[in-house]
Amino acid sequence: MVTRSAVRGVGGYLPERIVTNADLAEVVETSDAWIQERTGIRERRRMGEGQAVSDMAVEAAKQALERAGRTAADVDLIIVATTTPDLTFPATAAIVQRKLGAPIGIAFDLQAVCSGFVYALSVADGFVARGLSRCALVIGAEAMSRLMDWTDRGTCVLFGDGAGAVVVEPEPGQGTTDDVGLLGFALRCDGNKQDLLYVDGGPSTTGAVGHLRMVGQQVFRHAVVNIAEAVEAAAANAGVPVAAVDWFIPHQANLRILHGVAHRLGVSEDKVISTVATHANTSAASIPLAMNAAVEDGRIKPGQLLLMEAMGGGLTWGACVLRL
C-alpha cells in the first residue's frame, strides 16, 4: 500500500471583462488575423480595477472545494502559484486563507511563472503523500495584464488574466499505474536562458513591478523541444507510455506550440485540451483553467490518465502525469 495524492475537485474563475483582438488593434499596430494566425488567440479576460489576484484565486478555490465536497474549514495547505501577487508580502496564499476563512495551516506562494502550477502540484504531493496535509488547495492565479508593456505588440496580445484551482487529498493506492492520483513528474529550470523571457523589474533591483520582455521566436523553439522531453520523462517516471494518456492539458501559450508538441510526441490533436482561443496565456492559471473547461464539458472523466505540461520564464518547464 502507498499513499497517493489525488486531485478531487477543480474550479476556475475568469474576470468578466473580455478584450478581443479588435480591441487590442486600437492600442497597438496589430490585427485579429495576425494574432489568430500566429497564436490561435481570439480574446482574453482582464481583471477589474478593484480586483486583486487573491480575489480570483478565492473564486476558483471555492468552486474546487465545492466539487470536492469540502469546505474552507477542511483546508490545511494552500499553495498559490503566481507571478503577479497582490503584494510583495504577505504571500497571496495567506491572503486567500484569510478571504476563504480557512483555519491556521500552511500557506505560501510558489514562483515558477507559467510552469508554476505543475511545480505546485509536485510540492503539494510532497505534503499530501507524506501525511502532512489532508486537504490541499493548489491554485494558479495571474493578472498578466498588469505586467504588459502596452506599446510592445509582440507580447501584449498574448496574455490574459484568470485563476484555476484543484483540491489534492490523500488516497490509498497499490503502487501501480492504475492508482488514482499524481503518478509522475519531470521538473526543469535553465537559469541561463533568463534573457529570453523575464520581467524587467523587482523589489531588490528597480523597486518597481516592471514589464514582461520576451524573445518570442527563441522561446517558441525551446518550448517545443523542452516540453516534449519533459513529457516523455514524466511518463517514464509514472511508468506509463505517452500513448496511454487520455488527455493532454498543456500550458496555453500558443496554439502552434500545442500542436508542435503533440506532433513531436505523435499525439493526435483531438487529445489536446485547448482554451488558448478564449483565455490566451494566463501563465500559472492556464492548466487548471483548461482542465476545468474540459471537466465541465464532460470530456475529462474520473479514472482517466491526464498529462499536464508547461514552460515559462526561468526558463522553467515540466510535466505531470496523474489519474483522476
Question: Which residue lies nearer to ligand ACO by CB, 140 or 181?
Answer: 140
Using rule CB under 6 A, residue 313 touches ligand ACO: yes
Footprint of ligand ACO on residues 47-86 (CB under 6 A)? Answer: none
Question: Which residue lies nearer to ligand ACO by CB, 213 or 299?
Answer: 213
- Both ends of the chain: CA-CA distance in Å? 18
Footprint of ligand ACO on residues 178-207 (CB under 6 A)? Answer: 197
Footprint of ligand ACO on residues 115-144 (CB under 6 A)? Answer: none
Least distance from C-beta 197 to ligand ACO, angstroms?
6
Interface residue with ligand ACO among 18, 148, 220, 259 (CB under 6 A) is 220
> Residue 155 CA to chain centroid, in angstroms?
18
Q: Cα torsion at 112, 229, 309, 84 (round to 10°)?
A: 20
- Which range in 54-62, 92-100, 252-260, 269-277 contacts ligand ACO by CB under 6 A? 252-260
CA-closest candidate to residue 145, choices 27, 66, 6, 246: 27
Least distance from C-beta 256 to ligand ACO, angstroms?
7
Q: Please give the Cα distance from 140 to 82 (Å, whole number).
A: 6
Q: Output the nine-digit C-alpha cell for 267.
A: 499525439
Angstrom CA distances, 321 to 61, 145, 146, 179, 318, stand at 22, 30, 32, 12, 11
Least distance from C-beta 30 to ligand ACO, angstroms?
3
Q: Please give the Cα distance from 298 to 262 (Å, whole number).
A: 22
Q: Where does this chain bind ligand ACO (CB under 6 A)? A: 30, 34-35, 38-39, 113-114, 153-154, 157, 197, 216-217, 219-220, 223, 253-254, 257, 281, 283, 311-313
Catalytic residues: 114, 251, 281
